[in-house]
Amino acid sequence: MHIHETTIRVLYAHTDKAGVVYYANYLQFFETGRTEYLRALGKSYADFERDGIILTVTEAALKYHRPAVYDDLLAIRTRVTRIRRTRMDFLYEVRNAAGELLCEGSTVLGCLDTTTKRPRELPADLVALVGAVDA
């Protein structure tokens, strides 16, 4: 499977009163990884919206292993694990500069029509792009 890696730095705004990354911010880190994964394939979320498509998270799961703190440099590793007619499954790992696993998780993205807000098939070009790198 193709793994796309994006690097981010923990901002003070990402942390909670205990000085560690607030748990829900990992979902934002996943979004960053997913967005950059798709951008690396040549398609941005804005491209999908112009094509009448909304990619929306329908499921999310996270498992925390150790905390990240302010100013840590994090690697977000993202890959697609499954493509179905109207959905894509993503898997994520967040690691610190030492390579330690901090958090892992998954999301399922559903494909909706922007007008009707009803499920629609994933675009064939996206399926082909993901299939080409993940084969």
Please tell me the predicted confidence (pLDDT) of residue 57: 97
Separation CA 9–CA 26 (nearest Å): 12
Average pLDDT, the chain: 94
Q: Which 8-state DSSP code applies to residue 120?
A: -
Please tell me the predicted confidence (pLDDT) of residue 131: 78
Average pLDDT of the segment spanning 77-101: 96
CA 16 to chain centre: 22
Please tell me the predicted confidence (pLDDT) of residue 1: 57
Please tell me the predicted confidence (pLDDT) of residue 18: 95
Average pLDDT of the segment spanning 53-73: 97
Please tell me the predicted confidence (pLDDT) of residue 29: 98
Average pLDDT of the segment spanning 100-115: 97
Please tell me the predicted confidence (pLDDT) of residue 61: 98
Separation CA 102–CA 8 (nearest Å): 14
Dihedral sign, Cα of residue 102, residue 37, residue 48, residue 111: negative
CB of 90 closer than 8 Å to CB of 81: yes
Residue whose pair of structure tokens reads 């993940």 in the numeric block? 134
CB of 21 closer than 8 Å to CB of 15: yes
Looking at CATH, the fold of the domain delimited by 4-134 is given as: Thiol Ester Dehydrase; Chain A (3.10.129)
Please tell me the predicted confidence (pLDDT) of residue 132: 60
Q: Which of 40, 43, 46, 52 is nearest to 125 (CA)?
A: 43
CB of 8 closer than 8 Å to CB of 71: no
Average pLDDT of the segment spanning 55-60: 97
CB of 101 closer than 8 Å to CB of 65: yes
Please tell me the predicted confidence (pLDDT) of residue 47: 93
- End-to-end Cα spacing for the chain: 7
